Amino acid sequence: MRVLVAGLNHKSADVEVREKLAFSGDKLAPGLQGLKDLPGVKEAAILSTCNRVELYTHVSDPEGAKREIKRFISSFHSIPAGLLEGKTLYFHSGPEAIRHVFRVASSLDSMVLGEPQILGQVKAAFEFALEKKATGVLLNRLMKKAISVAKRVRTETRIAENAVSISFAAVELAKKIFTDLAGKTVLLLGAGEMAELAARHFMASGVKEIVVANRTLARGQELASEFEGKAVPFDEFKDEMLHADIVLCSTGAPDYVVLKPDVHAAMGKRKQRPLFLIDISVPRNIDPQVNSLDNVYLYDVDDLQTVVDSNRSERRKEADKAEMIVSEEVETFERWLDCLQSVPAIVSLRQRAEEIRKYEVQKMLNRIDLDEKERKAVELMACSIVNKLIHPPTAALKEDTGDRDQLIAMIIKLYGLNGSC
């Protein structure tokens, strides 16, 4: 029995190819069933995200399964088989497949190292496969182990603790200034993608209110509604600075829109309550002289990029620790898998021993007349003899040895067991 992973990700295929091969929406259920029905596939699960599409299977013949899976993907998505050649579609089997699944769940194979979303996506893929009864003993154990490995990585390393995006770095810096963002108000100057992403991070960190000042009021209202905030005309942002704790500026203006006199006036009315300004515009839209004011903290995109670069370096260091955890867990899983391969032989050995015991005991009882107490004594003695005789080979099959396959073959031959064990 083997674990086989087939897939493509952000490193092997561009977004156009990934979109064509995605098992999203109403494609997931028939896709999973089609995969499970392939010859040689015993169990299956599918992970399909914007950055990867991976098929996890339990197969008896990896090489044969690879051919079947390629044909299946080509047929299911109605794409030429040639699109899957080269580096687009990758396969991992055996220990490398196990390692790959553990690394994916632990976000060691993600576009953004340490990102937290992938673990939830792995959980969802597993739960869906469970619901559709597509998994069994092996994949159930593999997916549960992958989830526990990911949790161990997050507990024992700091791989997810440092911000590695500009918008998230802004939030992390705000936390350092205010300690707690609960109850704070954020003023967004601009309603573009970066401002929206930062707003999501701020709301996730407990911010009370988002106010959007945008030159196109309709777009500002659209963004504000997503966070149950409010939108104001852009030229009213100076008034809104009186109430905001954090101002994030992300506009397309060619020059400064927030000037030192504006902030100075606002600080006087705020009674010097701290104000944190983040300028992620290029070119900059907040006058750098603002930073000279008391209780005003200004960071621009270069400041944030320095934080991001430093944090990426820290994440890479933590990734080395995470890789060691993954290696340990792969070895543990491999030992369990080896033991699992011995189960059919152990079951067959016990069944064969029981057949012989029952036959010989019954044959003896048919020859001599014993009362109930004596019959039970004979039965117990026969059971004891059988257990003592099969204990050594059973224990040997369960041991962590490198010659397990040879041992299984020898026991099958010596005890005349079914060769299919």
Which positions are catalytic? 50
In Å, the largest CA–CA distance within the chain is 113
Q: Are 68 and 40 in contact, with CB atoms under 8 Å apart?
A: yes
Q: In what order do the strands lie in the sheet with 52-59?
A: 41-48, 52-59, 2-9, 90-93
What DSSP letter does each residue of 252-279 carry, written as one string?
--SS-SB-HHHHHHHHHHTTT--EEEEE
Q: Are 21 and 31 in contact, with CB atoms under 8 Å apart?
A: no
Distance (Å) of CA 199 to CA 153, 353, 413: 28, 69, 68
Closest CA to 208 of 180, 233, 249: 180
Identify any residues that bridge with 54 across adjacent strands, giving them in sequence order. Answer: 7, 47
CA angle in degrees (0–180, nearest 5) for 120-126-129: 140
Q: How far is Cα 223 from Cα 210, in angstroms, rounded to an integer?
A: 9
Q: Are 76 and 37 in contact, with CB atoms under 8 Å apart?
A: no
Structure tokens at 420: 């299919």
Q: Please tell me whether residue 249 adopts helix, strand or coil conformation.
A: strand
Q: How far is Cα 226 from Cα 212, in angstroms, rounded to an integer?
A: 11
Q: Where are the beta strands (DSSP E) in 270-412?
A: 275-279, 296-300
- Other beta carbons within 10 Å of 358: 13
Would you put residue 39 in left (φ > 0), alpha (ψ -120 to 50) or beta? beta
Q: Are 40 and 64 in contact, with CB atoms under 8 Å apart?
A: yes
